[in-house]
Structure 1
């Protein structure tokens, strides 16, 4: 396919299969699919999403807030089997396996939210294990909502939110069907569990989509209320419309059993509670 060529313009969007030459971009939220087949020659990027690239894991973009840089990974739409097969060791009753389609791509933070980013936004640090590059913990679901609302208000075009449980598992699996994104089992060389505290984000190998510590380090809040899966909803499920407990996923440093960190494992807590084993990872709200 021949590419359309655009020269010397000031633009607010990127279109697929286009070669840009000497253009200046002022970008807000960009659909990652728009970067398909693009080329950039001597172009500059401004706005809150001002740094991007491609690597072996896919497309990434980054924003910087008060000198704290956060990389977001583009998670392409797709279909996967959510939950666990009946043959999976330590499978739980609430993990009914069913097909789910994520119809819209989304940007997901490559790491859990760090303490330095939390402090830049909230001007405080509630964490027990204090270190700038460690994930923030001792934050409730409600606290995380306040953080994202504040950052969204301060940065034009930013629409951070928690991933849905389906988005989280889809991203954690990164195309795998095994109990963990690393295979049928994990070790403490791959995941921070059986530990004494959190560790810096990006301390361990990322998954196939460039996401770090989806297993272990801290549990991660999701947007959904905890309930049985509604397997009749197969496209972009968002969970129950109400409840008393919010979902969290992924496991933490304090667990002694690896099976609690399986891609399919679900747990939850009331949204006002906070623990030193729970943090969060945000995403950008999907394009409508």
Structure 2
């Protein structure tokens, strides 16, 4: 669904010289690196530059919370830098592009939720027509994990997080909304009944998605990569990483009904799911109030 885009390395060099792409409404450099932004109908979105590099994808056998789909660990080289949304796609951006809001927890700066993989593809097709040269797509799960880790080989981008109970991993509190904290000081009158969730980090009665950018960003300047909403990736699901490409490419399927990969954990999932290596699967028409997405710009 991605449209043709210029050579990203050339575009990046021009940006450093003060020449942004035509679709950009803002650009610059801060403590996290280089960024670009665009606007549609009053909604704005920042993309962060993710530099090339090599990493170990998947988790080691002894990582707490691990399951078999996270292995075997294997080396992946991302040879070309790419751009990635700073946050999950917000309801404001979705509504500006699609003209509706399917979310169960309506707030402009919350992630859009209840969107299927096919819905995300429809959004991408439409926004690429609206902003020629933008060329968005879903990230491959390899690029997603590389970006999520931001150079950290441990279970999260701030290091290993000890899991003390089903919904109790205090280290996650700084970076993610998950089952242990997503209802703490919940700011909507209506939410999901979380009163019977086990072993919560904080006592709460109602939970749901939370506003983006409330937790600590990664070293790449990315927010909510872990927790808040699961994020669709481009890949068709495989039960493990056997035979996975070493260049970060997506694993495709000719079957339209092929299950797709979800990453990152969410507000109503327990702590073990909120790790850089965890993988989940979903049918391309599945819609849940704990599922969203973020977009990438990747050199074809």
Q: TM-score, structure 2 length as denominator?
A: 0.80
Shift of the alpha carbon at 1:241? 2.6
Aligned to 1:190: 175
Is the Cα contact below 8 Å between 2:244 and 2:251 reproduced in 1?
Answer: no
**Are 2:135 and 1:122 equivalent residues in the alignment?**
no
What is the SS of the residue equivalent to 1:188? Answer: helix
> Hey, what's the Cα distance between the residues in 2 that align with 1:159 and 1:61?
13
Shift of the alpha carbon at 1:235? 1.3
Which structure 2 residues correspond to residues 1-288 of structure 1 after superposition, within 5 A?
31=8, 35=12, 40=17, 47-96=22-71, 97-185=73-161, 186-194=171-179, 195=182, 196-227=207-238, 228-231=240-243, 233-242=245-254, 244-255=258-269, 257-284=270-297, 286-288=298-300
The answer to which of 127-136 and 28-37 deviates more is 28-37
Shift of the alpha carbon at 1:46? 6.9
Unpaired runs of at least 5, structure 2: 162-170, 183-206
What is the SS of the residue equivalent to 2:68? Answer: coil
Is the Cα contact below 8 Å between 2:11 and 2:21 reproduced in 1?
Answer: no
Residues 252 and 47 (structure 1), Cα distance of their counterparts in 2 relative to 1, 3 Å cut:
same
Is the Cα contact below 8 Å between 2:174 and 2:216 reproduced in 1?
Answer: no
Structure showing greater radius of gyration is: 1
Residues 232 and 260 (structure 1), Cα distance of their counterparts in 2 relative to 1, 3 Å cut:
closer
> Hey, what's the Cα distance between the residues in 2 that align with 1:212 and 1:101?
23
> Hey, what's the Cα distance between the residues in 2 that align with 1:90 and 1:55?
35
What root-mean-square deviation, in Å, do the aligned CA atoms of Structure 1 and Structure 2 show?
Answer: 2.0
Is the Cα contact below 8 Å between 2:11 and 2:20 reproduced in 1?
Answer: no
Q: TM-score, structure 1 length as denominator?
A: 0.84
The answer to which of 92-101 and 30-39 deviates more is 30-39
Larger strand fraction of residues: 1
Q: Deviations over 1:174-222 (max 9, x none)?
A: 0001101121113324311122011111011100100001000000000
> Hey, what's the Cα distance between the residues in 2 that align with 1:246 and 1:86?
24
Is the Cα contact below 8 Å between 1:137 and 1:276 reproduced in 2?
Answer: yes
Is the Cα contact below 8 Å between 1:73 and 1:108 reproduced in 2?
Answer: yes
Residues 161 and 233 (structure 1), Cα distance of their counterparts in 2 relative to 1, 3 Å cut:
same
Is the Cα contact below 8 Å between 1:29 and 1:49 reproduced in 2?
Answer: no
Residues 133 and 39 (structure 1), Cα distance of their counterparts in 2 relative to 1, 3 Å cut:
closer
Residues 39 and 198 (structure 1), Cα distance of their counterparts in 2 relative to 1, 3 Å cut:
closer
Q: Deviations over 1:229-259 (max 9, x none)?
A: 244621123114346210000000112x211
What is the SS of the residue equivalent to 2:281? Answer: strand
The answer to which of 111-120 and 58-67 deviates more is 58-67
Aligned to 1:14: none
Shift of the alpha carbon at 1:30? 6.4
Residues 39 and 126 (structure 1), Cα distance of their counterparts in 2 relative to 1, 3 Å cut:
closer
Q: Deviations over 1:40-97 (max 9, x none)?
A: 5xx6757211321111111111111112111000111111000001121121111111
